[in-house]
Amino acid sequence: MAAIDTNSLSAVENPAELYDGANVLVTGGLGFLGSNLGFALAAAGASVTLVDSLLPQYGGNPHNIEGIQGKVAVSYTDVRDSYAMAYLISRHDFIFNFAGQVSHRDSIDDPLTDLEINTSASLNLLELVRKNNPGASVVYAGTRQVYGRPEYLPVDEKHPLHPTDANGISNLAAEMYHGMYAELHGIRATSLRMTNTYGPRQRLAGTTQAFVPIFVRKAFRDETITIYGDGNQRRDFVYVTDAVDAFLRAGRCADAVGKIMNLGHPDPMGLKDFADLLCEVVGTGRVALAPWPPDYEKIDIGDYYGSFELASKTLAWRPTVGVKDGLTRTIEFYRPRIAEYM
């Protein structure tokens, strides 16, 4: 299945249709991003294998594929398992590499596991692609964390790289390996740097992951959402279907190979405004401001929003869902099945 160029992509409304009949492997496939991608691909007639080892505390959740069971294959495989991964990679031409440890706090408490899962496993995956299926397309889910505290806004891809925690470092190294495999070995590898992504199928339990799911959980429980600082820290929020759209475009795009591109949203929003809106949509919960705890302040990055001009140009992509609409759809999803995500 030949890659297509940016021009052809710009005429595509639903990029999932570009995968009709294709063999697609998604690591972290029972997680937030992976399962949403799985839904889009299954609906479009792709032959999908979702890989997940359901590590406790991570994002994998068997409930995430309710509605597509039987339409996708699931392999309960640890991405660090070279033999199983070699076989899977040899049989799939599109690989979405989403498996990862995403908690900032956990990465600081146990940085070696973070490095192993985020970097070593990704590097191993790339080696397996090089040896077993060098024509495969690989798209990595990178993160805005590689920039650290913004020196200017919006942050573009030329911004200095200064991750403030172990998770940012392990992700950056993994992303750089993807770039290197493209440059040096001709592998069709791409990375998209995600910013705050939200929507259905995100794990709401735990205290160590991203703030959006914590906010959602607290709102549902009618608890107080505590925001550190003045609450005006701005972020760009990307609804998960928009993110999935970008990844689908990247996997099929010849012009994306070797590129590392920000995702983003044109309307950044303050954290307090976001949380207030969330409570309004849920109908419960409230927001309070509090001073920064010292340990957290060290890894806080202040305002962040990114320029996604490169992704727009390369992938003919732009986000279509605003925060109000996205939160409404998110809460509609969780309301009848909230117990499965807490």
Compute the distance between CA of residue 161 and CA of residue 163 in angstroms, rounded to an integer.
6
Query: Measured from the CB of residue 115, what is the shortest distance to a second copy in angstroms?
Result: 6
- Residue 271 CB contacts under 8 Å (≥ 6 apart), including other chains: 211, 227, 231, 232, 233, 234, 235
Residue 211 CA to residue 215 CA, distance in Å, equals 6
DSSP letters along 5-28, please?
A: -HHHHTT-S-GGGGGTT-EEEEET
- Report the site for a second copy in 287-316 (rule: CB under 8 A): 298-299
Mask of contacts with a second copy, 177-216, x by CB under 8 A?
Answer: x--x--xx--------------------------------
- Selected range binding a second copy among 52-60, 167-175, 214-222, 267-275, rule: CB under 8 A: 167-175
**Number of amino acids touching a second copy (CB under 8 A):** 28
Angle formed by the axes of helices 271-282 and 323-334, nearest 10°: 40
Q: Is 158 in the site for a second copy (CB under 8 A)?
A: yes
Tell me whether residue 13 or residue 158 sits nearer to a second copy (CB atom): 158
Q: Which residue in 124, 190, 196, 233 binds a second copy (CB under 8 A)?
A: 124
**Residue of 54, 55, 73, 161 that binds a second copy (CB under 8 A):** 161
Does 119 contact a second copy by CB under 8 A? yes
Contact flag: residue 123 with a second copy (CB under 8 A): yes
CA distance 334 to 331: 5
At 180, is the secondary structure helix, strand, or coil?
helix
112 binds a second copy (CB under 8 A): yes
| DSSP label at residue 340 | G
**Helix 271-282 / helix 211-220 crossing angle, nearest 10 deg:** 40
Q: List residues binding a second copy (CB under 8 A).
A: 108, 111-112, 115-116, 119-120, 123-124, 127, 158, 160-161, 163-166, 169-170, 172-173, 176-177, 180, 183-184, 298-299
